[in-house]
Structures are given as structure tokens and as C-alpha cells.
Structure 1
Amino acid sequence: MIDTIIFDLGAVLIDWNPHYMYRTLFTDEQEMKDFLATVCTPDWNEEQDAGRPLREGTDILVAQYPQHEAYIRAFYDRWEEMLGEPFHDTVELFRRLKISGKYKIYALTNWSAETFPVALARYDFLSWFDGIVVSGVEKMRKPAPEFYQILLDRYHVDPQNALFIDDNYRNIVAAEKAGIKSIHFTSAGQLEKELEGLKLL
């Protein structure tokens, strides 16, 4: 019986998108997309999510792409401008699960330890969680099996009684290998139907 629900944050509950900030710097949309695909890439950002200091990650790219220094430094200097609104429909599902009183609810997130306090101050609903495990603090990230195990051990969660929700399929695969039933999130409507199908709502 499921008594624990584990949420991912970005793209599930929180809208984070570098485009929001970089559109103020680039006049050409394709040029912006090319920059984010080849310079400030998701893989590079994930190294900071895994604990690499923001300054170190920035300096590495500046050394590789000195012609883009201003754009590179903007990534973390203006990082807060990449945060959008909460996904209100998903937050409402979270609220319904929380007020039912039936579940312990945790977050397992790939997020820099240096930027996560900004999110904590900005989104009140983050205080609803019974615990949050942040990759940058632990210096490891999804989909590493050890990262999931940190949450299971810290909060005494039986994986057979847990449900994990994430938008990234590779993270779903890793959770299921750890014995955690999972939902691959695509929309609040889809999540609501799946939760109802499992009789959790």
C-alpha cells in the first residue's frame, strides 16, 4: 500500500526555463537556442546540480568559450530570471494529497545547492514537504541509484510503499530499478488520472 509520494520539482511543480532570461539578451531565437545547446548545455548545468560550485562551472566555460563570456556569466548571475510560475494545477494535486493526511510527501530534486534557497524563498508550497533531498547538497544527482537511496534511508521509506513522480524518463527508469513504483509526468491532467487510477486521490 502506498504511503509515501516523492515528487520531482522542475517541470513538475516549478517552471524553470533558461529561455526566459536569455530572450532578454538574444535578439535571434535560433541563436539563443544554439548557445544553450552547445555552450551552457543541460549536461553542463547538471554538473552544478551534482555539487560543482557555480563559479567553477562558469570559469570552465569561459575558458573554453571566451567569446561568449558575458552570456555564460549571465546564466548564474541572472539565474532567478529563469524561474517562472508554479505549475498551479500540479501544486493543487500536491495540496490535495497533503491535506488527505494519508501520505508522507518528499521531494527529490536535481538542483544546485547555491540556487535552491532562491526557490525556497519564492515558492511557499515547498514548505509543505515532509523532507527535500537536493542533489547539490548531496553532491550526487538523479539518476544515480545512490541518490534515491539517500531519501529512502533518511526518511525510512520502504520503496515498495512509495510512488515517484518525475518528468524525465531516465529518472523513472532508475527509480523503478530501485523498486519504487513511478509515474512519468507529462501533464497535471495525466497525473491526476493516474493518481485516481491508483486510488490515491
Structure 2
Amino acid sequence: MSKIKSIIFDFGDVFINLDKDGAMTNALQLFQMEYFEDDILLTNIAYETGQITTIEFIDFYNNKFKNLDEKKIVEAWNYILRDFPEYRLKFLKDLKEKKDFSLILLSNTNELHIESVKNNVPFYEEFKACFNGFYLSHEIKKRKPNKDIFEFVLNEHNLIPKECLFIDDTYENTKSASQMGLHVWNIDERTEDVIHLFDIKKDLF
């Protein structure tokens, strides 16, 4: 019998592909900076946790970079988002149909990113419907790797940590979940794919 009853998935670089390095390079070139200053980093986190609105977020960048209009700012922000291979949706739908696990999505994301995904991924609603819980950081006002976001999900679904597998591409996030007793897979998006879950983590199933 499987040790795992619930699988908690990240979104970026688990289902949808991201270009983190390209997005950073593109933004630094656009802003004519060598690194992101503290006010930018703090504003980005505030936006990702729903502490500021999209209008306030764009106003911050408009005021800081007066040569940039809203369109360029939004394009730079969404540059990170790439394709969502449909075979991963099939994997998820097959998993849902088996009804062996509770499926939960837990993502650090923001309103602009998720709106872009909705507009560019034709099967977004079909994807979302596969989950028993669908949590975005800007909506629940918590973000990984802070432990309160994991406590929130565990409490919301009455989960036992040792019966959960958390899959994320960011080490800090899986480390935090592991410290709370969850099983983890720190997926390497360059060499691994979520569809191979039951081969790579077969010791759990």
C-alpha cells in the first residue's frame, strides 16, 4: 500500500516551463542595472503575496523607470513564462482518474502571471479542475518557503505530513517542507520531468 495519500505540486518548472535566467537577463538589460535593488525585490515579494495590487505594482515600476510604459513592464514581468506541454496535463488527468491520491497545487505566483497563463494556455481550466486544492500565493497571502504556507495546506485538508509528497523545483522550498515532515522531490527541470514521478520516487509508492 502506498505511503503517500496526497501529492502537492508546484506549478512553475513542474507543469509550465519557465525561463528564469532569460527573464532576469532581459529585465536587467531593460532596467539598465547590474542587479536587482532591494526595493525591487521587496516589491516583487509584496506583489507575490497579494500585499499590493497589480496597479500598485506597475506604478512602482513606472515611477522607478520613467522611460518604460506599462506594456514594456508587463512584457518583462511575464517573460519568464514559457510553454505548458500538454502531455503533462494528460499525466495529471490520468492521475486524477485513478483517485489514489488527493492532488493539490501550491504555487508562488501573482495576478499578472496567472492572467497570462489563463490567456495563453487553452486548457488552463481543465488543468485547474484536476486538483482537490489550488493555492496561489497572491490569493492566500503566503509564500514558500515560509512554513506557514505548508501549515495552511495541511490544516485545510487535514493532512498528515508523512503521507504527503511535495514536488518543487526550488531547493529552499523542498527543504522547508522536508523539515515539517513531508516527503519531497526537489525536481531538476533540466533533467527530470514530473511524468516520471512513479519511476523516480518509486520507493514511496
Matched with 1:154 is 156
Describe how 1:1-201 pairs up with structure 2 within 5 A: 1-17=3-19, 31=29, 37-38=35-36, 44-51=43-50, 52-67=52-67, 69-70=68-69, 73-76=71-74, 83-113=81-111, 115-120=113-118, 122=121, 123=124, 124-186=126-188, 187-188=192-193, 191-199=197-205
CA deviation profile, 1:113-135 (whole Å, cap 9, x unmatched): 45435535632322211111111
Partner AA of 2:109 in structure 1: W
In structure 2, distance between residues paired with 1:194 and 1:41: 38
In structure 1, distance between residues paired with 2:8 and 2:165: 6
Structure 1, unpaired ranges of 5+: none
Following TM superposition, by how much is the alpha carbon of 1:94 offset from its aligned partner in structure 2, in angstroms? Answer: 2.7
Report the identity percentage.
21
TM-score w.r.t. structure 2 length? 0.75
CA deviation profile, 1:74-124 (whole Å, cap 9, x unmatched): 233686675432144544443343232210000001111454355356323
In structure 2, distance between residues paired with 1:42 and 1:126: 29
Segment drifting more, 9-18 vs 41-50? 41-50
Number of aligned residue pairs: give it: 193
Structure 2, unpaired ranges of 5+: none
Partner AA of 2:48 in structure 1: D
In structure 2, distance between residues paired with 1:41 and 1:167: 23
In structure 2, distance between residues paired with 1:146 and 1:89: 32
Go from structure 1 to structure 2 and tell me whether the alpha carbon gap of 1:195 and 1:87 turns closer, same or farther (over 3 Å shift): farther
TM-score w.r.t. structure 1 length? 0.76
Which secondary structure does the structure 1 equivalent of 2:158 belong to? coil
Go from structure 1 to structure 2 and tell me whether the alpha carbon gap of 1:7 and 1:36 turns closer, same or farther (over 3 Å shift): farther
Segment drifting more, 158-167 vs 29-38? 29-38
